Every structure is written in structure tokens, then in C-alpha cells.
Chain A
């Protein structure tokens, strides 16, 4: 079946612009996660959703970052007033639930964001 998909695969923008990154989780997965991976580093957690609600947004770096999941499926990560330091690969993952030890997170291919 289809895995997690993310669009666009690459996004180049200018400093100060607004961007939206989209994630389509695996069908039926109720939990959705966003991570950010800088060059040479491991992924860093940003936010996760259980259904439509953000269950934990403790990883969002500041109020320029916001994410929504209005119907409990597709999610959009929104970044306002982009800065060069926002350049990274943004990863999305989904799983069946958040709580159980055996629920694997399946990752998408990521969106590479470059802020010039």
C-alpha cells in the first residue's frame, strides 16, 4: 500500500517568505508527527497529532511555526517569515496510535527546505 507522502520534495524560498509543507499519512493512521533534520544531525521532534488535535507541540521552535490537521488525515506545516536557519529536511511520520510500545512510526521521504 501507499506509504507516507510529502509535498513538495524540494522547496526553495527567500528569507521572510511564508511556506507550507504537506504530509499525507498512511490511510487509517491516527497519529502524525513532524520532525526537522538539519544536515549531519538526527531528526528533531516538532509536533504530533492524535486525530485532529495537537497532542504535543513542545518541539516547535517559535511562533513562526504552526501545523494543522483539520480532518485528521492530511497535515500542513506552516512557517511564517522564514529565516536561513529554517533550512532543513522536514520529515513527516505516521503510526496507528501513539501510546503502545509496538506501534511503528513510518516516515515519509521528507521535504528539503532551502531559505536563501
Chain B
């Protein structure tokens, strides 16, 4: 079945470091791909998305490119801030189905 796998956390970085959180997926069709973020004490929020192969989603300095050939959607940011500390979830969704299929989440901790 369809699934999403993320790199295990926690990931601990110093402020201004480069961030990569790996995400790969298994899908029988052509899903849309998403990154959600859960800040401490808050609900899940959509960070960015890409709806087809080679699309790049971006928001708040974060980017991810939909790579069909490697079935990946890695999250990157050039310079992280303490305020980026959160749990990040990669997810896929088929347009017809509606439901999101999430990875297990990767906790990011950014130290000043």
C-alpha cells in the first residue's frame, strides 16, 4: 500500500545551519505531496505542497521538490532559526481519495 517514510529524529542544529529532512514515498498512482509542521502546543499546519512531478513547493524559506524518479520530497532550508523548532510531517494525498497519509514525523530542535 501507499506509505511515507521520513528520516528519524530528533534533528538538532545550530541557528543558521542548513536543514535537510528526508522523505520518500511509495505510491501506486500520482499523489500530491505535502509537508506539515506542528509547533509546540499548536495544531498541524500546512507548510508547503507540490501537486505533480518536478514541482517545487516553498514557504517561509523552506523548499521541497517532487522527485518522481527517486520517489522523494526532501525538505530543505538554507538557514534555520530557533523558531523553526517543531515536528515536521511529510504526507501524500490522492486527489480522488482526500485522505492524507503521513510519515512518522521528524522533530527538529534549533539551538541558539
Contacts and interface: CB of A to CB of B under 8 A. Distances in A.
Contacts of B102: 42-44
B26 interface: no
B43 A109 contact: yes
- Of the candidates A44, A98, A101, the one having the most CB atoms from chain B within 10 angstroms of its own CB is A101
Contact of A104 (B46, B95, B101, B105): B46
Contacts of A41: 104-105
A25 interface: no
Contacts of B104: 40-42
Given A33-B99, A56-B98, A42 B105 contact: yes
A5 B29 CA distance: 33
B43 A98 contact: no
A93 B102 CA distance: 14
Interface residues of B, number: 22
Nearest to A3: B43
A59 B51 contact: no
A79 interface: no
Contacts of A107: 43-45
A107 B46 CA distance: 9
A3 B101 CA distance: 22
Contacts of A59: 99
Given A42-B104, A42-B105, A110-B43, A99 B99 contact: no
B28 to A, nearest CB: 15
Nearest to B52: A101
Nearest to A41: B104
A100 B96 CA distance: 8
Contacts of A95: 98
A99 B32 CA distance: 11
Interface of A: 3-4, 31, 33, 35, 40-45, 48, 50, 55-56, 59, 91, 93, 95, 98-102, 104-105, 107-110
Interface of B: 4, 32, 42-46, 49, 51, 89, 91, 95-105
Q: Which 9 A-B pairs have the closest CB atoms?
A: A42-B102, A98-B98, A107-B44, A45-B99, A101-B51, A109-B43, A107-B43, A42-B104, A43-B102
